[in-house]
Copies of this chain bind each other. A is one copy, B any other.
Amino acid sequence: MRGSGERSATYGTGRLEAFSDGVIAVAITLLVLDLKVPQPDDGGSLAGQLARMWPNILAYIISFLAIGIMWLNHHAALRRLRAVDHAVLVVNLLLLLCIVTLPFSTSLFSTYLTDPDGGHLAAVVYAGSFLVTSLMFLALQWLIIVRRRHLLHEPLAAASQRTVLLRGVIAAPVYLLAALLGLVTPYLTLAVCILLGLFYLLPLRRRGS
């Protein structure tokens, strides 16, 4: 990595990982700011006020797991690389830009979930923000394993490339479905996002290289 020829256009992966870890760690932690402490003078008992926070609590858990899983996948994607170039840095930055907006769309969703007027739109924005993020992640994956094969520790065979990309593609149509179902009712969006989270938490025996 310190060879003078290579150094002119590529960088080691260490600080990219550190910066990405930092941004994702802050974004995932900011989700808790949507859990606002009810104030004593808001009226009603504390038990009732906490019970009415269920959309916030559920949205917090779903988004935390979804961002956490993105971190895992990001982790797995970058460790294939022995070096990064300008294009990888830029696409990674665009991915982080998407991830950092997720606390906003999560808070929007939890605020409007039970609102008969805004609920549909909030659900579409919520699932849509995850859809865009997963597409950007797919772009990063494709860039790394197809277009930057020479930067990998070990280039992947065409079959493995397809497997990795296909696995990354799964999330996009699910989030698209979740967004469309939000037009029917935001609760279906919620259900699909919960199922997707559970699916990823299951032990994946197939989780090959």
A residues adjacent to B (C-beta < 8 A): 2, 4, 7-9, 11-12, 15-19, 21-33, 35, 37, 39-40, 45-47, 50, 60-61, 64-65, 68-69, 71-72, 75-76, 79, 86-87, 89-90, 93, 96-97, 100-101, 103-104, 107-108, 111-112, 115, 117-118, 121-122, 125, 153-154, 201, 203-204, 207-209
The interface residues of chain A, by DSSP majority, are classed as helix
Partner of A46, one of B37, B97, B104, B118: B118
A111 to B39, CA, bound (A): 8
Q: How many copies of this chain does one complex carry?
A: 4
Given the known A-B contacts A23-B25, A61-B97, A112-B46, are A40 and B118 also in contact in the complex, defined by CB atoms under 8 Å?
A: yes
Given the known A-B contacts A29-B26, A75-B11, are A37 and B208 also in contact in the complex, defined by CB atoms under 8 Å?
A: no
